[in-house]
Structure 1
Amino acid sequence: MQAIDGGANSAAGRSRMLGVSRQAAAKTIGALERAGYVERTADAADARRKRLVVSGRGREAIAIGAAEFEKSYQRWPHTVGPATAASTLSALSVLSGSTPS
Protein backbone atom coordinates (compact mmCIF):
# COMPACT_ATOMS: atom_id res chain seq x y z
CA MET A 1 0.00 0.00 0.00
CA GLN A 2 2.87 2.35 0.71
CA ALA A 3 4.12 1.84 -2.86
CA ILE A 4 0.69 2.82 -4.18
CA ASP A 5 0.57 5.79 -1.81
CA GLY A 6 4.07 6.73 -3.00
CA GLY A 7 3.00 7.02 -6.63
CA ALA A 8 2.89 3.46 -7.97
CA ASN A 9 -0.73 3.90 -9.02
CA SER A 10 -0.90 1.02 -11.51
CA ALA A 11 0.15 -2.63 -11.56
CA ALA A 12 3.00 -1.75 -13.93
CA GLY A 13 4.16 1.11 -11.69
CA ARG A 14 3.95 -1.05 -8.60
CA SER A 15 5.89 -3.87 -10.24
CA ARG A 16 8.66 -1.46 -11.29
CA MET A 17 8.83 0.22 -7.88
CA LEU A 18 8.98 -3.06 -5.95
CA GLY A 19 10.96 -5.11 -8.45
CA VAL A 20 8.32 -7.81 -8.87
CA SER A 21 6.54 -9.17 -11.94
CA ARG A 22 3.39 -7.47 -13.23
CA GLN A 23 1.51 -10.68 -12.48
CA ALA A 24 2.63 -10.62 -8.84
CA ALA A 25 1.75 -6.93 -8.57
CA ALA A 26 -1.70 -7.48 -10.10
CA LYS A 27 -2.39 -10.39 -7.76
CA THR A 28 -1.43 -8.35 -4.70
CA ILE A 29 -3.43 -5.35 -5.89
CA GLY A 30 -6.48 -7.59 -6.39
CA ALA A 31 -6.20 -8.88 -2.83
CA LEU A 32 -5.77 -5.35 -1.44
CA GLU A 33 -8.77 -4.17 -3.45
CA ARG A 34 -10.98 -7.05 -2.27
CA ALA A 35 -9.98 -6.29 1.33
CA GLY A 36 -10.95 -2.64 0.86
CA TYR A 37 -7.44 -1.22 1.31
CA VAL A 38 -7.12 0.26 -2.19
CA GLU A 39 -9.60 1.56 -4.76
CA ARG A 40 -9.55 2.20 -8.49
CA THR A 41 -10.53 5.71 -9.54
CA ALA A 42 -10.84 7.40 -12.91
CA ASP A 43 -7.67 9.05 -14.20
CA ALA A 44 -8.40 12.74 -14.83
CA ALA A 45 -5.84 12.82 -17.66
CA ASP A 46 -6.96 9.61 -19.41
CA ALA A 47 -10.56 8.37 -19.08
CA ARG A 48 -9.53 4.89 -20.30
CA ARG A 49 -7.18 4.43 -17.38
CA LYS A 50 -7.95 3.64 -13.73
CA ARG A 51 -5.60 4.85 -11.01
CA LEU A 52 -5.00 3.04 -7.75
CA VAL A 53 -5.45 5.00 -4.53
CA VAL A 54 -5.19 3.94 -0.90
CA SER A 55 -8.64 3.98 0.71
CA GLY A 56 -9.47 5.31 4.15
CA ARG A 57 -9.30 1.76 5.48
CA GLY A 58 -5.89 1.36 3.84
CA ARG A 59 -4.62 4.55 5.46
CA GLU A 60 -5.79 3.29 8.84
CA ALA A 61 -3.92 0.01 8.26
CA ILE A 62 -0.75 1.89 7.29
CA ALA A 63 -1.01 4.02 10.45
CA ILE A 64 -1.55 0.95 12.64
CA GLY A 65 1.40 -0.81 11.01
CA ALA A 66 3.64 2.21 11.50
CA ALA A 67 2.65 2.49 15.17
CA GLU A 68 3.31 -1.21 15.75
CA PHE A 69 6.68 -0.97 14.00
CA GLU A 70 7.59 2.02 16.18
CA LYS A 71 6.72 0.06 19.34
CA SER A 72 8.84 -2.85 18.14
CA TYR A 73 11.69 -0.56 17.09
CA GLN A 74 11.80 1.03 20.56
CA ARG A 75 12.66 -2.42 21.99
CA TRP A 76 15.53 -3.10 19.55
CA PRO A 77 18.30 -1.29 21.49
CA HIS A 78 17.39 -3.18 24.67
CA THR A 79 17.29 -6.50 22.81
CA VAL A 80 20.28 -6.34 20.45
CA GLY A 81 22.14 -3.22 21.59
CA PRO A 82 22.10 0.35 20.26
CA ALA A 83 24.70 -0.16 17.51
CA THR A 84 22.99 -3.24 16.06
CA ALA A 85 19.60 -1.54 16.24
CA ALA A 86 20.95 1.50 14.37
CA SER A 87 22.65 -0.58 11.68
CA THR A 88 19.52 -2.71 11.22
CA LEU A 89 17.36 0.39 10.75
CA SER A 90 19.91 1.78 8.31
CA ALA A 91 19.90 -1.45 6.29
CA LEU A 92 16.10 -1.57 6.23
CA SER A 93 16.00 2.05 5.08
CA VAL A 94 18.36 1.31 2.20
CA LEU A 95 16.36 -1.77 1.20
CA SER A 96 13.06 0.12 1.28
CA GLY A 97 14.42 3.23 -0.40
CA SER A 98 13.49 5.48 2.51
CA THR A 99 15.36 7.52 5.08
CA PRO A 100 15.61 6.42 8.73
CA SER A 101 13.51 8.47 11.16
Structure 2
Amino acid sequence: MRDYMSVSWERVTSHLVIAASSHKRLRPGLLGFFHTNARPLQSFDSSFNETCNSQMQWKVPCPVLRNKLRVSIWEHVILAYRLYLETLKQSAVSAAEDSEWGLQSKINELFEG
Protein backbone atom coordinates (compact mmCIF):
# COMPACT_ATOMS: atom_id res chain seq x y z
CA MET A 1 0.00 0.00 0.00
CA ARG A 2 2.96 2.30 0.65
CA ASP A 3 3.96 2.19 -3.03
CA TYR A 4 0.40 2.94 -4.13
CA MET A 5 0.19 5.94 -1.79
CA SER A 6 3.55 7.21 -2.93
CA VAL A 7 2.80 6.90 -6.64
CA SER A 8 -0.81 8.11 -6.56
CA TRP A 9 -1.12 10.58 -3.71
CA GLU A 10 2.33 12.05 -3.01
CA ARG A 11 2.02 13.92 -6.30
CA VAL A 12 -1.30 15.38 -5.15
CA THR A 13 -0.13 16.56 -1.74
CA SER A 14 3.27 17.74 -2.95
CA HIS A 15 1.68 21.03 -4.05
CA LEU A 16 0.69 21.78 -0.45
CA VAL A 17 3.84 20.43 1.19
CA ILE A 18 6.08 22.58 -0.98
CA ALA A 19 3.91 25.64 -0.38
CA ALA A 20 3.86 25.12 3.38
CA SER A 21 7.61 25.27 3.72
CA SER A 22 8.36 28.84 4.63
CA HIS A 23 11.22 29.38 2.19
CA LYS A 24 9.06 28.33 -0.75
CA ARG A 25 5.84 30.02 0.36
CA LEU A 26 7.20 33.51 0.93
CA ARG A 27 9.11 35.13 -1.88
CA PRO A 28 10.37 38.67 -2.11
CA GLY A 29 8.42 40.56 -4.74
CA LEU A 30 9.18 43.81 -6.40
CA LEU A 31 10.31 46.49 -4.00
CA GLY A 32 11.22 43.79 -1.47
CA PHE A 33 7.68 43.08 -0.26
CA PHE A 34 6.86 39.48 0.58
CA HIS A 35 3.87 37.80 -0.95
CA THR A 36 2.35 34.34 -0.77
CA ASN A 37 1.76 32.09 -3.73
CA ALA A 38 -2.00 31.59 -4.13
CA ARG A 39 -1.61 28.79 -6.67
CA PRO A 40 -0.79 25.79 -4.42
CA LEU A 41 -4.39 25.22 -3.36
CA GLN A 42 -5.56 25.44 -6.98
CA SER A 43 -2.81 23.06 -8.09
CA PHE A 44 -3.69 20.67 -5.26
CA ASP A 45 -7.39 20.80 -6.13
CA SER A 46 -6.71 20.12 -9.80
CA SER A 47 -4.35 17.24 -9.05
CA PHE A 48 -6.73 15.81 -6.41
CA ASN A 49 -9.66 15.81 -8.83
CA GLU A 50 -7.55 14.35 -11.63
CA THR A 51 -6.36 11.50 -9.39
CA CYS A 52 -9.86 10.82 -8.03
CA ASN A 53 -11.38 10.85 -11.51
CA SER A 54 -8.77 8.42 -12.81
CA GLN A 55 -9.36 6.02 -9.90
CA MET A 56 -13.14 6.42 -9.66
CA GLN A 57 -13.75 3.44 -11.96
CA TRP A 58 -11.32 1.13 -10.16
CA LYS A 59 -13.07 -1.76 -8.47
CA VAL A 60 -11.91 -3.04 -5.08
CA PRO A 61 -14.37 -5.85 -4.27
CA CYS A 62 -13.21 -6.45 -0.69
CA PRO A 63 -15.02 -3.93 1.56
CA VAL A 64 -12.32 -4.15 4.23
CA LEU A 65 -9.52 -3.34 1.79
CA ARG A 66 -11.63 -0.65 0.11
CA ASN A 67 -12.20 1.05 3.48
CA LYS A 68 -8.54 0.69 4.43
CA LEU A 69 -7.51 2.40 1.19
CA ARG A 70 -9.97 5.24 1.74
CA VAL A 71 -8.81 5.79 5.31
CA SER A 72 -5.15 5.81 4.24
CA ILE A 73 -5.87 8.29 1.45
CA TRP A 74 -7.93 10.49 3.77
CA GLU A 75 -5.26 10.55 6.46
CA HIS A 76 -2.51 11.34 3.93
CA VAL A 77 -4.45 14.04 2.09
CA ILE A 78 -5.97 15.71 5.14
CA LEU A 79 -2.64 15.90 6.98
CA ALA A 80 -1.04 17.82 4.11
CA TYR A 81 -4.20 19.92 3.70
CA ARG A 82 -4.36 20.90 7.37
CA LEU A 83 -0.64 21.67 7.54
CA TYR A 84 -1.09 23.95 4.57
CA LEU A 85 -4.09 25.65 6.18
CA GLU A 86 -1.97 26.44 9.22
CA THR A 87 0.26 28.53 6.97
CA LEU A 88 -2.64 30.63 5.68
CA LYS A 89 -3.97 33.74 7.31
CA GLN A 90 -6.94 33.15 9.60
CA SER A 91 -9.40 34.83 7.21
CA ALA A 92 -8.71 32.27 4.49
CA VAL A 93 -8.82 29.27 6.83
CA SER A 94 -12.59 29.13 7.35
CA ALA A 95 -13.27 29.06 3.61
CA ALA A 96 -10.66 26.37 3.06
CA GLU A 97 -11.98 24.27 5.96
CA ASP A 98 -15.34 24.04 4.19
CA SER A 99 -13.54 22.28 1.36
CA GLU A 100 -12.50 19.45 3.73
CA TRP A 101 -16.00 18.00 3.48
CA GLY A 102 -15.75 17.99 -0.30
CA LEU A 103 -12.48 16.07 -0.13
CA GLN A 104 -13.98 13.47 2.21
CA SER A 105 -17.00 13.02 -0.03
CA LYS A 106 -14.89 12.51 -3.16
CA ILE A 107 -12.59 9.99 -1.42
CA ASN A 108 -15.63 8.00 -0.23
CA GLU A 109 -16.64 7.50 -3.87
CA LEU A 110 -13.37 5.79 -4.80
CA PHE A 111 -13.08 2.11 -5.69
CA GLU A 112 -16.77 1.46 -6.24
CA GLY A 113 -16.10 0.61 -9.90
TM-score (ref. length: structure 1): 0.40
The answer to which structure has the higher helix fraction is 2
The answer to which structure has the higher strand fraction is 1
Larger RCO (CA under 8 A, 6+ residues apart) = 2
TM-score (ref. length: structure 2): 0.37
